[in-house]
Amino acid sequence: MDRLLITGGKPLVGEVEISGAKNAALPILCAALLTADTVALANVPRLKDVDTMLSLLAQLGVKVKHDGQAGVELTASSLDSLQAPYELVKTMRASILVLGPLVARFGQARVSLPGGCAIGQRPVDQHIRGLQALGAEITIEHGYVVAKAKRLKGAVIRTDMVTVTGTENLLMAAVLAEGTTVLENAAREPEVVDLAELLIKMGADISGHGTDRIVIRGVERLHGAQHEVMPDRIEAGSFLCAVAATGGQIRLGGVAPSTMGATLSKLAQAGLQLEVSDDSIQATMQGRPKSVDIRTHEYPGFATDMQAQFMALNTVAQGTSIVVETIFENRFMHVQELIRLGADIEIDGHTAVVRGVPSLSGATVMATDLRASASLVIAGLKAEGQTVIERIYHLDRGYTNMEIKLRQLGAQIERISSRGQA
Ligand SMILES: CC(=O)N[C@H]1[C@@H](OP(=O)(O)OP(=O)(O)OC[C@H]2O[C@@H](n3ccc(=O)[nH]c3=O)[C@H](O)[C@@H]2O)O[C@H](CO)[C@@H](O)[C@@H]1O
Ligand SMILES: C=C(OP(=O)(O)O)C(=O)O
């Protein structure tokens, strides 16, 4: 298993290009299942999760053409299989996103239940209930969701909570249903909007995306389209937390600041000076950051996917902060590891109290999930001496070449491969 070796204490200076968004790319790749024509995508991030999704789609029989960079063409003219096996789904929960498109276009699907996840239980009951409301017959057989339907029929669906992939699955199912579907309490995340925009290019009739009420008028068929995946607001936010912690000046290119309101406002409160254009952010940090209170919330609130990175920033900030995690029941696993680096954090249920310390000291720590890994990288960049981060396969799920990009900014960071080579 690869590890990261960081020698901390250097400010970050330079320019870096942000990749396409993982959480937009994954549903968008699945949308290609909705048409027999080719869907041509640009700005697809090169990540483990994208590789996993492409393997799953290829296994279903989708023809996948990858240009080795950020371009991917997908053609689902005919499929060999309608089954998403446990072996792939267990490594990536987003595999459940093939369920809606398969049942909508082919009238059946067999998709492994994703199972639990380190950050929380994460059931898919709302996906299932929504598909049932659209007329699918669903049974759970041997750990698989088995869905059947002649043609889905539009319905009004109100999910019990705001669910991002739930909204995306039901959106993809409803575009080919007969009649009108209304998704109430829908997720407003920019990644849902990006998916809807691709679907509209493919011929879908959708309005209200970006609000909590999405109206979908089903069409008979969709056609091919071209689309550029939106920038990754979480990757961009992670780099900004890093420079806020280490000090320095960085410029991020290929970003969409309009999707980053809550993150940018908290970073400004922490003392990061920001100059924002339509697609770039220049960030300058002088002196020690100020503590900022965080309460995670659905978009446009503060993203749970940024909580761990802000926690790392708060550990070295001036003052005490309160961090409340409201979306996932077990998303504080980075806390124990940050404490190993010298942080002063106390957890009480869903709340963490972070008392800022003037410095951290390097140690060996273990990544437990994707954003926990990013928080340890940020803390390691700030800590005095050497930090070794183990189990960075979590980081590779969602960040493109993070250590290479950080080296571009002057960080001393290297990957030690399991064979012992950097
Ligand atoms: C691939 C992707 O886009 N992943 C993102 C997506 O995950 P994901 O879509 O899985 O997260 P959800 O928005 O569905 O989860 C929100 C909450 O609803 C619960 N829930 C959800 C569905 C359901 O059927 N039943 C249920 O109880 C979950 O356990 C969680 O407590 O949104 C999360 C919340 O912004 C982000 O952290 C993830 O990075
Ligand atoms: C939790 C995340 O991803 P996933 O939903 O794919 O586990 C994330 O991107 O932070």
Q: Tell me which of 86-90, 272-276, 319-323, 377-381 is least confident.
A: 86-90
Nearest to 103 by CA among 72, 78, 126, 134: 134
CB 195, CB 31: distance < 8 Å: yes
66 CB neighbour count, 10 Å cutoff: 15
Q: Please tell me which residue in 58, 117, 140, 404 is annotated as part of the active site.
A: 117
Which DSSP letter does residue 94 get? G
Ligand 2 near 23 CB (within 6 A):
yes
Nearest to 205 by CA among 229, 179, 185: 179
Catalytic, 241? Answer no
Please check if 123 is assigned to a binding site: yes
Say yes or no: 327 and 353 in one domain.
yes
CB 218, CB 212: distance < 8 Å: no
Note the ligand closest to the C-alpha atom of 92: 2
Average pLDDT on 245-255 reads 98
pLDDT band for 116, please (50, 70, 90 cuts): low
Nearest to 344 by CA among 320, 324, 323, 325: 320
Average pLDDT on 63-85 reads 95
Average pLDDT on 379-399 reads 97
Q: Per the structure block, which two tokens stand in for 342?
A: 């010298």
Say yes or no: 13 and 73 in one domain.
no
Ligand 2: residue whose CA is nearest its atom 8:
305
Say yes or no: 9 and 73 in one domain.
no
pLDDT in tens, 256-287: 999 999 999 999 999 999 999 999 999 999 99
Say yes or no: 41 and 185 in one domain.
yes
Q: Tell me which of 114-128, 138-152, 163-177, 380-394 is least confident.
A: 114-128
Cα–Cα distances in angstroms (integers) from residue 253 to residues 4, 21, 278, 336, 413, in the given order: 25, 14, 10, 33, 21
Upstream peptide bond of 300 is cis (omega within 30 degrees of 0)? yes
Residue 397 Cα, ligand 2 centroid: separation in angstroms?
Answer: 9
pLDDT value at residue 419: 66
pLDDT at 422 over 50: no
Average pLDDT, the chain: 96
Say yes or no: 197 and 295 in one domain.
no
274 residue type, one letter:
L
Ligand 2 near 331 CB (within 6 A):
no
Say yes or no: 58 and 37 in one domain.
yes
The CATH number of residue 382's host domain is: 3.65.10.10
Say yes or no: 143 and 101 in one domain.
yes
Residue 175 Cα, ligand 1 centroid: separation in angstroms?
Answer: 21
Ligand 1 atom closest to Cα of 121?
29
pLDDT at 421 over 80: no
Ligand 2 near 93 CB (within 6 A):
yes
| HSE toward the beta carbon, residue 345, CA cutoff 13 A | 31
CA 104/CA 92 separation, integer angstroms: 22
Total structural domains within the chain: 2
Ligand 1: residue whose CA is nearest its atom 15:
163
Please check if 45 is assigned to a binding site: no
Give the torsion through C-alpha atoms of 103, 106, 110, 114, to 10 deg: -50
pLDDT in tens, 37-46: 999 999 999 9
Domain's final residue, options 195, 211, 228: 228
Please check if 300 is assigned to a binding site: no
Which DSSP letter does residue 97 get? G
154 CB neighbour count, 10 Å cutoff: 19
The reply to whether 421 falls in a domain is no
Residue 117 Cα, ligand 2 centroid: separation in angstroms?
Answer: 10
Say yes or no: 117 and 55 in one domain.
yes
The reply to whether 295 falls in a domain is yes
Ligand 2: residue whose CA is nearest its atom 10:
305
Say yes or no: 52 and 10 in one domain.
no
Say yes or no: 8 and 26 in one domain.
no
Residue 22 Cα, ligand 2 centroid: separation in angstroms?
Answer: 9
Please check if 22 is assigned to a binding site: yes
Ligand 1 atom closest to Cα of 23?
3
Ligand 1 atom closest to Cα of 127?
24
Average pLDDT on 24-42 reads 98
CA 97/CA 24 separation, integer angstroms: 12
The backbone region for 410, taken as left when phi is positive above 0, alpha when psi lies in -120 to 50, beta otherwise, is left
Which DSSP letter does residue 143 get? T
The reply to whether 422 falls in a domain is no
Those residues whose C-beta lies under 8 Å from the C-beta of residue 63, and which sit 6 or more positions away, are: 74, 75, 76, 77
Say yes or no: 31 and 76 in one domain.
yes
Handedness of CA 252, 266, 379, 395 (dihedral sign): negative
Domain's final residue, options 203, 228, 253: 228
pLDDT band for 68, please (50, 70, 90 cuts): confident
Ligand 2 near 370 CB (within 6 A):
yes
Cα 187 → chain centroid: 14
Domain's final residue, options 179, 205, 228: 228
Say yes or no: 375 and 394 in one domain.
yes
Ligand 1 atom closest to Cα of 298?
35
The reply to whether 148 falls in a domain is yes
pLDDT at 132 over 70: yes
Residue 90 Cα, ligand 2 centroid: separation in angstroms?
Answer: 13
What is the percent of the chain where pLDDT is above 90? Answer: 96
pLDDT at 407 over 90: yes
Nearest to 2 by CA among 399, 408, 409: 399
Domain that holds residue 380: 3-19+231-416
